[in-house]
Amino acid sequence: MKTLTVIAAFGLASVASAAPSQANLKKFEQLHALMQPTAEELVWQQIPWQTNLWDARVEAAKTGKPIYLWEMDGHPLGCT
């Protein structure tokens, strides 16, 4: 019975130490900020992408610009 009490007390102590502290929260916020994409990395989102190949061909013919085609084979949830 004594060992069960010691194990339970140790388990509660480890759960209590897992609670987020201010230092952990600040570190998380710093790491989260570092992982965010920069404005330079998000420039591609400003391009008016076409999702219809025929519409893209018509627009490319009008403007004289090439088509960038990104095509993937396989199951949409696991590109095989």
> Mean pLDDT across the stretch 45-65?
93
Domain coordinates in residue numbering, the chain: 2-63
- For 24-50, write each residue's pLDDT tens digit: 999 999 999 999 999 999 998 998 888
Provide the pLDDT for residue 41: 94
- 3-state DSSP assignment of residue 35: helix
Q: What sign results for the dihedral spanned by CA atoms 39, 40, 41, 46? A: positive
From CA 16, how far away is CA 34, in angstroms rounded? Answer: 28
- For 7-30, write each residue's pLDDT tens digit: 555 555 555 556 778 889 999 999
